[in-house]
Structure 1
Amino acid sequence: MKNQWFVFTSLENPKETKTASPFLDYLTWNTKGRWTAEYKDSKFYHYENGDKGKCHPDCILNYISDAGEDWQMKIEGDHFVHAPKGDYSRAHTDTVMHYIGWDGRKWRAELLTLIDGLHPELISNCPEGMLLKADNAAAVYLVQFGQLHLIPNPDVYFALFPNWDKIHVKSTDEVNAIPMGLPLSLDACLIKADDSAPVYLSTNGVKSHIKSRGDFEKVGFDWDKIKTMTAEEVNKIPTAPEYEIANW
């Protein structure tokens, strides 16, 4: 099964990223409005002001570029097709989109393709899912989707892990070779619904399913730290791609 998400990076501050998501908040040039586009089933579902009660599906998206220009975009396979004002005789393809978001800031969206829950382009030596630090630094990271995600303080760490012994120490060069992603949020935690077994890592407003007991224990998560919530509470948290574990 193939799904496509967006990975967001600030064009003004390349170290700033947002959690991967199938939702893109954009400004449109044809109606001068604010819209949220959800990409699923090879279509965009456009929500006016993010209101799912005001929705229309379409295969295209009209957006304002980071340069303030009017463009139309559609997705074909694993890439974007960008056409100035919808003129496809002048279109070009790319794997990224530069646009202005609801916040008035300039963003870069890159397509993330997941096949059966896995990202096929992950480099083989990237320690996906690993708890990682450099040998000459104190910072500890979780690695996901080829990026380092900082664990900001001991309180966040011990909301997820029982002790320090699952941290893998690598050379500074090995750690620095992995791009920096979004830090875990201060409310990061492990959650499950009271009527079902799946366990999720919840951070930055989304939840990622941890697929198996083996994966959970390989990373070193703590079973005693799982917060049980109502199914309704869990379902309200948007679902991000599954927590990936590589062969390390």
Structure 2
Amino acid sequence: MRNTYTNEIAELHKWVENTDYQLGTGLSFLHTEVEVQVTCQRICFIANCIQEEYPFYASHLPVISQRLFSGNRLSGFTLNSAVFGELYIITQQLFSEPINIQCWTNIHPRIVQKSKDVFCDGHFDSAAEKAIKELETRLRELFQQLKPGAGVPTKIGDIVGALLGDNGVFHFCDTSTVSGKDQRRGVKLLFDGMFAAYRNPAAHANLPYTKREAVEQIMLTSQLMYILDRPCLL
């Protein structure tokens, strides 16, 4: 549905822009029955797709579709300019932000770069997979940085162990205290669990994700990415 939604909002945006241009000429014109039917069906379809992200727009767009045109097939259909003005504003926002992207403001920039556009296109599973792949890339970079000259292990679990194990080289917290040791051990378990639960299965099959599942995985990946940004304590 999301791929279809992206296409439909693009088509509605195109129609709105063209209609706005025609209105700007000051000339009166009529709309065909087919144009009216397609436009109203498109508006209602979009409303159905955005119930979670934009509940007010979702409830108001069907009302707009009912009031947007007046007339009949014989005499032609005219446009309600006031209602069109509402549709214009709503369409501009939906076209620029097809999915509510507020959650991305706190996501790690590297994850945003790899996953945000894919997520906003509705490819939630791909967005989650790209996020965890970027986390793996960062781990490999950190290994090379802290162990120059050493060969980077093929298995990600070996990299996590070399960085975050009891004798690991990435010291992001004070392990001279009990709480510091607990934090380090807990963080390593998070990394191990993340790759065991998400990265390894995804390497063998395409995993379907709902929007909620993708957001949860992306946020956890972002949290772990920020941990890797901490300075290494000597």
Q: What's the TM-score once normalised by structure 1's chain length?
A: 0.22
Determine which structure has more spread, i.e. the larger CA radius of gyration: 2
Bigger relative contact order (CA 8 A; separation at least 6)? 2
Return the TM-score normalized by structure 2.
0.22
